[in-house]
Structures are given as structure tokens and as C-alpha cells.
């Protein structure tokens, strides 16, 4: 196991169905196999554990994302490579998250880009179908805005890149950073 002095937070933002968690999951596997401590956290996990009872008003979403930011910060400052996969559609929320994390660790914003057409076609959780039928509200991309990152560290365009290519891209970009981080010990 590689014991890093500090880890980092790679924050994947993008529309539901853009491929964030799929990509993060495969990258996490590879990094773990190399001995890094890695945590992948995403919205589905959070809603069952640290954000039970948290609703979807603007205030509740901000509290939810502030919480996640703090959790990733705590992990990263203890040497964990954190892959956080959250729609996180608002620029000001992502700014808040960055400010929290950057006080103690590296924050890398990864924009997982996909057209609305693509994510509606994929619709892995059937949410777009429901939103288009008016059965659910505040669906990002339908009746709630997605504010795309203005200056992300990395853009992964999953309209064009395959899963394999997307994973390779994030993995290799992360590795160039990870290789520069101080390693406390390796055992």
C-alpha cells in the first residue's frame, strides 16, 4: 500500500447519465490495484448514508454539497484519493465546494460532458423518462439548469469518447498528479 501524506479530490460534475460514476468507479479500481487508498462517493451512496432526510430545495442541496465537500476534505487530508461523483449543477455550489477542499487539499474539477440527447437516450435510472412525463420535478437538464464549468481541470466528452477512453483519460491525467504527491511510506 502507498501511504500518501495527502490525497486529493477529483470532483466529477455533469448531467445525470453523463457517465460520472461509471468512469470514477473504473479509475478507482485501477488506483486501488496500485496500492492507493481510494474512496468513490456519489449521490446514491450519500442519500443512503450521510444525507438521509436531506431534501432537494436549494438550501438543502447546498447543505448536502457542503457536507460532501467536508467529507472529501477530511478523507483527502488523511491521504485518501477521493473520487466524488455528483451532478452538482450550480456554479456557486461548486465554488463553495472548491473553497472548502482547497483549504487542505488539491481539488480537481472534472467536467463529464454529454449532450442532453445522449443522456436522455441512455437514461440509466429512468429519471429522464419520468421527468419528461412530468412525474418528477427539478430534474437537471429538463426543468432545472446545469451550469457547465467555466474552467475545469479536465473535460471528458462522453458523446465522443468510449468508456474505455474516458477512463484512460482520467486515469492518466490523475497519475501525473499523483506521481508528484509526497509518499510517506510504501508497504
Q: Is 88 in the site for a second copy (CB under 8 A)?
A: no
Long-range contacts at 39-45 (CB < 8 A, ≥ 24 apart): 39/75, 39/80, 39/81, 39/82, 39/83, 40/82, 40/83, 40/84, 40/85, 41/68, 41/71, 41/72, 41/82, 41/83, 41/84, 41/85, 42/84, 42/85, 42/86, 43/85, 43/86, 43/87
Q: Is 52 in the site for a second copy (CB under 8 A)?
A: yes
Phi and psi for 115 in degrees, rounded to 5? -70, 155
Piece of 14-22, 63-71, 123-131, 158-166 that binds a second copy (CB under 8 A): 63-71
CB of 172 to a second copy, least distance (A): 24
Q: Is 80 in the site for a second copy (CB under 8 A)?
A: yes
Q: Within 10 Å of residue 155's Cβ, how many Cβ atoms?
A: 14
CB of 177 to a second copy, least distance (A): 19
Q: Is 59 in the site for a second copy (CB under 8 A)?
A: yes
Q: Is 163 in the site for a second copy (CB under 8 A)?
A: no
Q: Is 51 in the site for a second copy (CB under 8 A)?
A: yes
Site of interaction with a second copy (CB under 8 A): 1, 3, 5, 37, 39, 49-54, 59-60, 63, 66-67, 70-71, 74-75, 78-80, 183-187
Amino acid at each position: 500500500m502507498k501511504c500518501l501524506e495527502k490525497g486529493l479530490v477529483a470532483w466529477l460534475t455533469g448531467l445525470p447519465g453523463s457517465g460520472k460514476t461509471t468512469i470514477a468507479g473504473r479509475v478507482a479500481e485501477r488506483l486501488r490495484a496500485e496500492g492507493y487508498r481510494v474512496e468513490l462517493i456519489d449521490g446514491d451512496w450519500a442519500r443512503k448514508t450521510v444525507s438521509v432526510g436531506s431534501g432537494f430545495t436549494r438550501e438543502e442541496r447546498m447543505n448536502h454539497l457542503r457536507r460532501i465537500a467536508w467529507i472529501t476534505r477530511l478523507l483527502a487530508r488523511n491521504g485518501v484519493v477521493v473520487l466524488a461523483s455528483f451532478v452538482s449543477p450550480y456554479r456557486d455550489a461548486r465554488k463553495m465546494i472548491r473553497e472548502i477542499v482547497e483549504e487542505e487539499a488539491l481539488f480537481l474539477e472534472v467536467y463529464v460532458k454529454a449532450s442532453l440527447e445522449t443522456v436522455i437516450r441512455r437514461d440509466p435510472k429512468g429519471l429522464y423518462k419520468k421527468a419528461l412525463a412530468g412525474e418528477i420535478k427539478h430534474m437537471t437538464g429538463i426543468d432545472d439548469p446545469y451550469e457547465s464549468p467555466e474552467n475545469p481541470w479536465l473535460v471528458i466528452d462522453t458523446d465522443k469518447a468510449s468508456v474505455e477512453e474516458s477512463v484512460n483519460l482520467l486515469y492518466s491525467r490523475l497519475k501525473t498528479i499523483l506521481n508528484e504527491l509526497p509518499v510517506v511510506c510504501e508497504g
